[in-house]
Structure 1
Amino acid sequence: MSTPAHAQATPHPVPPPGTPPRLVLGSTSPYRRELLARLRLPFDCVAPAVDETPQPGEAPAALATRLARAKARDVADAVAAHTTGAIVIGSDQVAELDGQPLGKPGNHARALAQLQTMRGREVLFHTAVAVLRSSTGYAGEAMATVRVRFGQHDDALLEHYLRLEAPYDCAGSAKCETLGIALLGAIESDDPTALVGLPLIHTCALLRAAGLEPLAWAR
């Protein structure tokens, strides 16, 4: 008896021949790790050894680009000795207000001061990503800039938010992927995950250029 057309199973895509190149995320950030995992690709995380101190007069966007490139290069050099053909991702985010970088607050007092300063204002979040594949000489990079307008919230609400989420490791002192979204008035971006820490649209494009098609190898 033939199987009804509506009951036929959808064929699973045939995996490409061989194995995918090793993918390495040059970061220990849990936010970037979670974002890259959305692509359903196997990858490793390696901590880059990069000094993140801004250079004198360095613009926030230039700082993010330089650090993303440096992280990718450092990790690519580290894995080259025992892995041939690895693809390495480096990324960095720098928030900007009035042309000056806003770093990670690190503690409650500095986080509160950041939120008070940004209240009712627009902040730019520059998220750079760099992809290297040393075996082929490929080196690509991209930048996603997100415009974020913060709402008008009194100090008591800012204090309450900080006590609940303790976003002291986040530039801008707010986690937009969770309760921090309630602090914001608007977000403008062409790459929606950039604000969290890794612009996945740009990352996919760079991986393709490096020889790894995310859709072909997703599992």
Structure 2
Amino acid sequence: MRFVLASQSPARLATLRSAGIQPEVIVSGVDESGVTAADPAGLAQTLARLKAEAVVDQLLDTPGPVIVVGCDSVLELDGVAYGKPWTADVAVERWRMMRGRSGVLHTGHQLIVIDNDAIVHAEGRGATTVVHFADLSDAEIDAYVATGEPLVVAGSFTLDGLGGAFVTGIEGDPHNVVGISLPLLREMIIDAGHTWQELWTGPGQPGA
């Protein structure tokens, strides 16, 4: 069973590896800048679908079965979706807006199974987690942004890195905040006619 992650996110890869899964990583190359949707949850799901479909297009001439999973995350605050800030100025501005408040982290998941050069299953589902942020001082924000970590992550924060100290609580799946909901992915794998434990038998994993 080939399992392909259509994402270059180190956090998603580390989460899957910690769960006993060693995916192949194929970067989709999707340009996220021009993608729009009716709401933040829809944007996350649309981006996840586009990423998965772009990678599937690269794999249709390979032997199956292959499971491809694409994910994308955005933070919703006041009804607006926030992805990666990319620049320090934007990250500082966002943290000054976020501090002492709560946001909703949306992660879209798109699973596509290909076999015999054809798509045999496709499903998209989203997960949401409420994130409560600490009331950071300006000095803390400046110091955190200076590390570079928040520049390349959705919502300008991490739960599993330096930003973890600035999250006072969550409501929902913590894996979803990191970028991929393992409980949701397990349900999607089962819906596709496979079992979660099949993925444990990849190269270098227990039982291989």
| Corresponding residue for residue 174 of structure 1 | 157
Greater Rg over alpha carbons, structure: 1
- Stretches of structure 1 that go unaligned for 5 or more consecutive residues are 1-20
Deviation of 1:217 after TM superposition, in Å, equals: 4.6
Which residue type is aligned with residue 187 of structure 2?
A
Alpha carbons of structure 1 residues 119 and 83: separation in structure 2 relative to 1, 3 Å:
same
Q: Percent identity?
A: 33
Equivalent residue, structure 1, for 2:99: 119
2:7 & 2:34 partners in 1: Cα distance? 18
- Pair 1:85 & 2:65 matched: yes
Alignment partner, residue 155 of structure 1:
138
Match of 1:145 in 2: 128
Amino acid at match of 1:213: T
**Residue 204 (structure 1) aligns with:** 186
Equivalent residue letter for 1:82:
T
Query: What secondary structure sits across from 1:145 in the alignment?
Result: strand
**What is the aligned counterpart of 2:177 among 186, 195, 205?**
195
Q: CA deviation at 1:29?
A: 1.1
The CA deviation at 1:211 is 3.4
1:3 maps to what in 2? Answer: none
Report SS of the residue matched to 1:167. helix
Give the TM-score taking structure 1 as reference length: 0.83
Is 1:52 matched up with 2:32?
A: yes
Q: CA deviation at 1:54?
A: 5.1
Equivalent residues of 2:83, 2:156 under 8 A apart:
no
Are the counterparts in 2 of residues 22 and 87 from structure 1 also a CA contact under 8 Å? yes
Contact 1:194–1:200 (8 Å) recurs in 2: yes
Tell me how far apart the structure 1 counterparts of residues 198 and 70 of structure 2 sit (CA, whole Å). 22
CA drift at 1:90 = 0.6
- Aligned to 1:212, the other structure's residue is in SS state coil
State the number of aligned residues.
Answer: 198
The SS at the match of 1:66 is: helix
Alpha-carbon separation, structure 2, partners of 1:71 and 1:95: 18
Partners in 1 of 2:32 and 2:145 — Cα distance? 25
User: Which segments of 5 or more consecutive residues in structure 2 lack a partner in the other structure?
Assistant: 201-205
Which has the larger share of strand?
A: 2
Letter in 1 for 2:92: L
Q: What is the distance in 2 between the residues matched to 1:44 and 1:161?
A: 32
Paired residues of 2:144 and 2:150 also in contact (CA < 8 A): no
State the SS of the aligned residue for 1:49: coil
Q: TM-score, normalised by structure 2?
A: 0.87
- Residue of structure 1 in register with 2:79 after alignment: 99
Aligned Cα root-mean-square deviation (Å): 1.8
- Decide which structure has greater helix share: 2
Correspondences of 1:15-26 after superposition (within 5 Å): 21-26=1-6
Deviates more, 1:116-125 or 1:161-170: 161-170
- The separation in 2 between residues aligned to 1:98 and 1:104, in whole angstroms, is 17
- Which residue type is aligned with residue 57 of structure 2? D
